[in-house]
Amino acid sequence: MKLQNELGPNIPVNKPLVVRTIKDVTKEQREYALEKTEYNVFSFPADLLFVDFLSDSGSGTMTDLQWASLFHGDESYGRNKGYYVLLDAIRDTFERGDKPNRAINLILSGETNVKKLMDELYLTSFEGGFVNGGVHQLIRPNAFIVPQGRCAEFLLFSTIAPILKEKYPSNEFFIPNNGHFDTTEANITVNGITPVNLFSANLLDEFPYDQMDNRNPFKGNMDIKRLETLIHEKGVDSIPLIYITITNNTAAGQPVEMNNIREVKKVANKYDIPLFFDACRFAENANFIKEFEKGYQNRTILNIVQEMFSHVDGFTISFKKDGLANIGGGFFFRDNGKFHEKFSFKEDIGIKLKEKQILTFGNDSYGGMSGRDIMALATGLYEVVQESYLNERKFQIRTFARKLAENHVPVILPAGGHAIYLNMDKFFEGLDAKIDEFRGVGFTIELIRHYGIRACELGPFAFEWDKKNPEQQKGILNLVRFAVPRNVYGPSHIDYAVAAITELYNNRDKIPKVEISRGANLRLRHFQTGLQPIYK
């Protein structure tokens, strides 16, 4: 008889105990709502959709343990107990590998031994890692809790930009990344720095869908040759940081190999440039390394995460990803590391960052989050690295991609970690669809109109193709993304989406081009412009 794990990858890993009824909205009602919301899919009321793939960000289902931890939330203005728990959970997740401390259990179990609480949680001090503790966090702050990833990006880039300009007044600055996310790119740009995407050259290579369980080309990697060329061309003092996004959301959610991280680190070391992660989907990335990179099969996720983070000088993170929590973000850098040294110009960079954190988000011990959410997040950090959870999620996305590929829909393969992406250049091949006709957006409008499904264009419209120079235009892919929130959807949602996407693909000649009717020059315009589909 076969063993349980030979019956396929999908051993059930959880069960819903609460469900939400989806409303029975008609096509005519959606058409009316589309018109009323200027055909901008971001503005469409979520409650009127059948399935919402706009984002996996903060939209996942919390576990029963996370709901239970909300009750332990402490809304104190100064040093709420969740602050200590969260900082320790971050050390556990990113630094301690297979030896987590789990100080969170002192709170969740209602520990009443005051001395134990003081010695093991409230009055402990740490230094030398990503999260100083006790007096060291005051003297050399290096850990900043914020409400979401983009707040961390804002904090980082708005603080370093003036320092760079003061230090190197005649320089231009460039921040390379294996793929900047839209908010990262925008936060860099508004601060007068140029973001550069160094996608892996194999990103759009064909991949057979029946091989997805057997191998992975790690298409999320950074193109290291281009990184070296950029540094040579622009000069070391023009590259303040190097960024690696794990997984590479803008490049179809593809994972990054440990070997690539190591190689980028070598280049960063050679030129003495701090290396950062945009760590949004670190656990999913680690899970791909475990499955496909030689030498990692017998390692735990925590152990792999520890190695990944041992290579970087700091990271910004949205804790809303990976299905971790509904809200949360952070910015962390290595105590007395390269980033600290480079940017502590006249004043300690951590102190500067802390001042801005307090001015803009809140006292350092909650950073704009509620005490309840801090507890749910800390609990989520322990759950997100569980392999059974990660596998179930990964196989759901893989199945979604495989079913589309079987129907000949041009989906980027292999599937990434949190979403499937359609290649819109291929989708409209042969139809003379011009890049500035934004047909990818037209496709997302039709998906809502006909089928009540929301997806998101991440292509020439979102990345503002028409406002970029030819060099920057090369860094824009033409994709539509279906991001899958964690533990929200099951096979019926995926099958419905596959059927709807296939139907539209088979009728792609009827998909309208789209014009921007209001706000073409707004920054981050995909969140806010008015649109008009033009039907023939």
Q: Which of 278, 322, 335, 446 is in the footprint of ligand F0G by CB under 6 A? A: 278
Q: Which of 154, 157, 181, 451 is in the footprint of ligand F0G by CB under 6 A? A: 181
Non-local (6+) Cβ contacts of 174 within 8 A are 193, 194, 195, 196, 230, 234, 238, 239
The two structure tokens encoding residue 66: 């996370």
Give me the least distance between CB of 479 and ligand F0G, in Å please. 12
Residues between 60 and 89 with contacts to ligand F0G, criterion CB under 6 A: none
Instruction: Please tell me what DSSP assigns to residue 327.
Output: S
Span of 3-11, 92-100, 131-139, 176-184 interacting with ligand F0G by CB under 6 A: 176-184
- The angle formed by the CA atoms of residues 502, 505 and 511, to the nearest 5 degrees, is 135
Q: Partners of 482 in the beta sheet?
A: 420
- Please provide residue 523's backbone torsions phi and psi, each rounded to the nearest 5 degrees: -80, 155
Closest to 371 measured CA to CA, from 70, 75, 68? 75
Give me the least distance between CB of 448 and ligand F0G, in Å please. 17
The two structure tokens encoding residue 270: 């050679």
Site string for ligand F0G, 130-149 (x = CB under 6 A): ------------------xx
Give me the least distance between CB of 251 and ligand F0G, in Å please. 10
320 binds ligand F0G (CB under 6 A): yes
Give me the least distance between CB of 299 and ligand F0G, in Å please. 24
Q: Which is nearer to ligand F0G, 244 or 258 (CB)?
A: 244
Give me the least distance between CB of 135 and ligand F0G, in Å please. 30
Task: Determine the Cα–Cα distance for residues 399 and 420; give it in Å rounded to an integer.
Answer: 10
Closest to 500 measured CA to CA, from 396, 398, 424, 407? 407
486 binds ligand F0G (CB under 6 A): no
The two structure tokens encoding residue 486: 């964690």
Q: Which is nearer to ligand F0G, 433 or 483 (CB)?
A: 483
Residues between 234 and 253 with contacts to ligand F0G, criterion CB under 6 A: 245, 249
Size of the site for ligand F0G (CB under 6 A): 16
59 binds ligand F0G (CB under 6 A): no
Closest to 520 measured CA to CA, from 434, 428, 432, 436? 436
Element housing 135 (H / E) = helix 135-139
3-state secondary structure at position 34: helix
418: burial class by Cβ within 10 Å (0-12, 13-18, 19+)? buried
Span of 130-138, 180-188, 341-349, 444-452 interacting with ligand F0G by CB under 6 A: 180-188
Non-local (6+) Cβ contacts of 2 within 8 A are none
Q: Which is nearer to ligand F0G, 284 or 446 (CB)?
A: 284
Q: Which of 66, 159, 197, 318 is in the footprint of ligand F0G by CB under 6 A? A: 318
Give residue for tokens 């279906």: 482
Q: Which is nearer to ligand F0G, 303 or 478 (CB)?
A: 478
Q: Which is nearer to ligand F0G, 174 or 282 (CB)?
A: 282
Footprint on this chain of ligand F0G (rule: CB under 6 A): 55, 57, 148-150, 181, 183-184, 245, 249, 278, 280, 318, 320, 329, 483
